[in-house]
Amino acid sequence: MEHVDVVVIGAGVVGLAIAARLSKHLSNVLVIDKNAGFGEEISSRNSEVIHAGIYYPKGSLKAELCVAGKQALYEYCQQRHIPYNNIGKLIVAQNAEEETYLQEMIEKAAANGVDDLGWVSAKKMRAMEPNLSASAALLSPSTGIVDVHSYMRSLLAEIEQNNGKFVARTELERVECSDSGFVVTLNCEDEQLKISSKYVINSAGLYCEQVAKRIEGLSEQFIPTVHWCRGHYFTYAGKSPFQQLIYPVPEKNGVGLGIHCTLDLGGQLKFGPDTQYIDVLEYAVSLGLRDTFIQAIKRYFPNVDAEKLQPAYSGIRPKLQAPGAAAEDFCVQGQDVHGVQGLVNLYGIESPGLTSSLAIAQRVVQQLGIEVSV
């Protein structure tokens, strides 16, 4: 039986970041993905925003890993010439209640170590964004955008430079615990293959719960239920009316950040994502959602032209937060919780998972006890 040091299940941005990091310490890293290429699921269906780390409760993993991950990602992009733009974002209020929320956000952000949020005067706001309508706005200068595909390609190149391997069209079928680690059964285009591995990382995104259930010896009590929550995007044709990212105050239920406006590196403006819990994985974007989008967008962009809004794409979040329940944190679960040495399961890696990816990788390395800190 072939032996590897680690099998990373899932070649999304998080699995690739973990594998790249592990490949610096281990000589034989294997990343698998059931799809024909890397990053075809959540990682290619998101907003591509480098988040500042301002929304998440103090002490949460989301806060810690987003703030550390943001810094690490900007440095990584600079070092490896990955297209990015530290474009900044305005978070806008429409009334006194929302302004109070923004004031609280300054304090929440500061508690997370983000102390660069600042009020923008009405005059400056008009000069910066003449098409924007708001009673007040906060500027988050450390928010940015990144070309996720280039980032993932770079992580993969790093893995391969360190003698690691990525194998596509290979599905994890089963993991059995053995004395020396794990026996991993893979299905490579209908052929079964068994390999042994010292470590196993479950970074299967939308399928993290299903993959965990294929790990023999992992008690079901440690496997949380994952809920799928789709977010739709509409592109806005023509020249962008905004120069930077525009966000309303987040949804009260903590499910999403509100239908916001982001730009990609080519200057294409898009609105979204909204939030819709679903039972079946399906990515279609219905034109019927346009009216709801227009109502949300009109609050901060009254001159929105409905004809310019076109259905674009959707992405699906793997949420630990059940419909109607309180917001949940990321879950990066190691031996200290589930008792299986050499195994780390990642659950609920929704936003800000892209921003946090390098910090999540660092956390996984620590959980495996491969190094203490960097």
Ligand X SMILES: Cc1cc2nc3c(=O)[nH]c(=O)nc-3n(C[C@H](O)[C@H](O)[C@H](O)COP(=O)(O)OP(=O)(O)OC[C@H]3O[C@@H](n4cnc5c(N)ncnc54)[C@H](O)[C@@H]3O)c2cc1C
Find how far residue 355's CA is from the centre of its chain.
6
Judged by CB under 6 A, the residue of 136, 211, 245, 296 near ligand X is: 211
- The set of residues, in sequence order, having a beta carbon less than 8 Å from that of 211 and lying 6+ positions away, is 9, 10, 172, 202, 204, 345
Tokens of 275: 């939030």
Residue type, 343: L
Q: Which is nearer to ligand X, 47 or 162 (CB)?
A: 47
Pattern 108-147, ligand X, x by CB under 6 A: ----------------------------------------
Q: Is 311 in the site for ligand X (CB under 6 A)?
A: no
Element holding 22 (H helix, E strand): helix 13-22
Q: How far apart are CA 223 and CA 207, in angstroms?
A: 12
Judged by CB under 6 A, the residue of 5, 6, 8, 12 near ligand X is: 12
Q: Is 6 in the site for ligand X (CB under 6 A)?
A: no
Does residue 269 contact residue 241 with C-beta atoms inside 8 Å? yes
Q: How far apart are CA 182 and CA 160, in angstroms?
A: 23
Q: How far apart are CA 113 and CA 60, in angstroms?
A: 13
Q: Is 14 in the site for ligand X (CB under 6 A)?
A: yes
What minimum distance in Å lies between the beta carbon of 149 and ligand X? 12
Per CB under 6 A, contacts with ligand X among 263-302 are 273
The stretch near ligand X (CB under 6 A) out of 22-30, 110-118, 189-197, 353-361 is 353-361
Cα distances from 353 to residues 48, 211, 227, 285, 331, in angstroms, run 10, 19, 16, 23, 11
What minimum distance in Å lies between the beta carbon of 316 and ligand X? 5
Q: Which is nearer to ligand X, 108 or 317 (CB)?
A: 317
Judged by CB under 6 A, the residue of 46, 143, 333, 345 near ligand X is: 46
Contacting positions for ligand X (CB under 6 A): 9-15, 32-35, 39-43, 45-49, 51, 171-172, 203-207, 211, 231, 273, 315-317, 349-355
